[in-house]
Amino acid sequence: MQKAHDKGHASLLATIVVTGVLGAVVVGSTFALRPPSSTGADALPAEATEAYGRQLLRETPKFLGPDHPDPQRRYSGTQMACASCHLEIGADPGTLSLLETSTRYPRFMGRDGGVRDLKDRINGCMQRSMNGRALPRDGIEMIAMEAYILSLGERFAAMGKTRRTPSEQAEFVEPNRRANVDAGRVVYEERCAVCHGGDGMGLSATTDPSDGYLFPPLWGPDSFNNGAGMHRVLTAARFIKARMPLGAADLSDDEAYDVAAYMNSHPRPQMSGLERDYPDRATKPIDSPYPPYADEFPVEQHRFGPFAPIREYYENR
């Protein structure tokens, strides 16, 4: 049942391009089957269940957002949801799926320079993708999110081979050139602005910001911060090629690359302390958009390419 509903979300959104954005607001808000009354600190579920974890990933701003009535619970700095990037609440196979995440942790994480577990990884997205602060490791919300992500692992194990195969485009192949921000603007205006807005700020689901977005922002004050994975051009291009425009992903490698650069050429929240990332700088991804680096290439080249010379430099060291 839930799965069918999740699938419906993506195909509904695909029809929005046809229906027009105003119609979408109405359809979108009636479509979202929200639980009747779960807003406010007094209505919190008492248990760290998988179901609560799922709700937290899907309706993050309602429970942890910057407008939460209890300031203590304002962990997220954005009205986006985890599911804004982890599509179908992480349950869809393929790019940014969380189905196999449970098998990947604990592991060594170059960004932190140490072994990190799933809770640390969730907090990585809290502090960067969600531009917020870390959840307490032993709190109900963290335990519930972890339980939900572990349950996705069980779901994956039980899935047939065909359902494990992502229904998405061929993997992104990086063009051997600098990304063209002007060409990216053209792609954006033709293929993205109808949903994400001419100004990139997205569209809220209702007049209550804690109801989150129908279309999340791609830049600006309520977007992911500059330390987030989506702020890396190659990570963003991979996601965009596989998934966007939602329900009709058909961009070429060149278009995905350029529109990712266009998206990431705009202002967004800045995270402090990024110079401490990747204590071993040689492990820093070549498209990390912030210094310092273990090479002499300019920041601009790490942001927008061309990446082949940087990759060659590290391969030949």
Residue 271 interacting with ligand HEC (CB under 6 A): no
Residue 233 interacting with ligand HEC (CB under 6 A): no
Q: Position of tokens 């920041």?
A: 299
Spatial separation of the C-alpha atoms in residues 276 and 265, rounded to whole Å: 23
From 140, 246, 271, 310, residue interacting with ligand HEC (rule: CB under 6 A): 246
Window 99 to 128, contacts with ligand HEC (CB under 6 A): 101, 104, 121-122, 125-126
- In whole angstroms, the minimum distance from the beta carbon of 296 to ligand HEC comes to 25
Backbone phi, psi, residue 17, to 5°: -55, -40
Type of residue numbered 208: D
In angstroms and rounded to an integer, the radius of gyration of the C-alpha atoms of the chain is: 19
Residue 186 interacting with ligand HEC (CB under 6 A): no
- In whole angstroms, the minimum distance from the beta carbon of 253 to ligand HEC comes to 13
Q: Distance from CA of residue 107 to its chain's centroid?
A: 21
* Pair of tokens at residue 187: 């792609």
The full length of the chain comes to 317
Side-chain half-sphere CA neighbours of 112 within 13 A: 12
Question: Is-cis flag, bond preceding 136, omega within 30?
Answer: no
Give the interface size with ligand HEC as a residue count (CB under 6 A). 49
**What does the DSSP 8-state code read for residue 197?**
-
CB 57 within 8 A of CB 146: no
Window 25 to 84, contacts with ligand HEC (CB under 6 A): 57, 60, 80, 82-84
Pick 16 or 91: Cβ nearer ligand HEC: 16
Residue 240 interacting with ligand HEC (CB under 6 A): yes
Q: Where along the sequence are the contacts to ligand HEC (CB under 6 A)? A: 9, 13, 16-17, 57, 60, 80, 82-87, 96, 98, 101, 104, 121-122, 125-126, 129-130, 145, 149, 187, 191-192, 194-196, 215-218, 224, 228-230, 235-236, 240, 244-247, 251, 259, 263
